[in-house]
Amino acid sequence: MWTEIPSAVPTEETPALRSQRARAEVRAAIRAVDSTLRQSGLPPRCMGFTLEMFPDRANPALRQIADYLEDWDGTRGLILTGGYGVGKTGLLAAALRALVTDHPSLWAAPLHFALAADLLDLLRQGYEAGDAAQRLARVRNAHLLALDDLGAEKPTEWVQERLLMIVNHRYERLLPTWITTNYGLNGLAERIGERTIWRLAETCAVIEITGRNLRIRDAP
């Protein structure tokens, strides 16, 4: 007995279906980027920041950061240095969003964003809780580690040793580290130690953020 074989000819995708599918893909990408950034520990204040939203539109750092992102090879780090309130943390967060958006390979990757002092505190607690090794491994092996306000923590010997362990591990494995700091490289060397800072300087683009304190409205 003959049975009717249904036609296997694919139906043409209509323009409406195509744009519906494109919109769904954009929504999925936004969700993936947001989730990656949330998982990284990016603070809620900075979650929505983009480079386009940066209040000081004429700041030359915007171009330098865009160039850095365009040339990114998966290994090069970034140091944003400058005075109080010039926008270092906001620019780092915005750059991270741009980077993750442009690199689907980073979606759901273990990225780690932390205030340097908080991260050291977390490690210290790890020694009391007995899981310091796991905590340290997470930080050392993050696909991208962003340390906000490096140098602000009290520079004890213990702090300098931990930072060197983290930075050297990442240096040897070509893992990118991003940093914001109020200090210049020489000032930072005194705070975190010469060995650590020169490993960072070798592997990072250093961008100095100039400008006014953006936290003070209409400041001269």
Binding site for Mg ion (CB under 5 A): 88-89
Residue 90: name its binding partner from ligand ATP, Mg ion, none (Cβ under 5 to 8 Å by kind). Answer: ligand ATP
User: In the complex, which residue's CB is closest to ligand ATP?
Assistant: 90
Out of 41, 85, 110, 211, name the contact with ligand ATP by CB under 6 A: 85
Residue 68: name its binding partner from ligand ATP, Mg ion, none (Cβ under 5 to 8 Å by kind). Answer: none
Residue 214: name its binding partner from Mg ion, ligand ATP, none (Cβ under 5 to 8 Å by kind). Answer: ligand ATP
53 binds ligand ATP (CB under 6 A): yes
CA dihedral (68, 70, 73, 74) in degrees, to 10, reads 80
Helices (H), 74-182: 88-102, 116-129, 132-141, 157-172
150 binds ligand ATP (CB under 6 A): no
Using only C-alpha atoms, what is the Rg of the chain? 22
The one-letter amino acid code at 151 reads G
Cα–Cα dist 9/192, whole Å: 66
Residue closer to ligand ATP, measured from CB, 141 or 182? 182
Out of 65, 91, 96, 116, name the contact with ligand ATP by CB under 6 A: 91
Residue closer to ligand ATP, measured from CB, 6 or 44? 44
Question: Rounded to 5, what percent of the chain is helix, strand, coil?
Answer: 55, 10, 35
- β-pair partners for 209: 82
Cα–Cα dist 124/186, whole Å: 27
88 binds ligand ATP (CB under 6 A): yes
Residue 178: name its binding partner from Mg ion, ligand ATP, none (Cβ under 5 to 8 Å by kind). Answer: none
CA dihedral (157, 159, 160, 164) in degrees, to 10, reads 140
CB of 209 to ligand ATP, least distance (A): 7
CA-based torsion, 123, 129, 130, 134: positive or negative: negative
Residue 85: name its binding partner from Mg ion, ligand ATP, none (Cβ under 5 to 8 Å by kind). Answer: ligand ATP
Q: Which residues bind ligand ATP (CB under 6 A)?
A: 49, 53-55, 84-91, 94, 149, 180, 182, 214-215
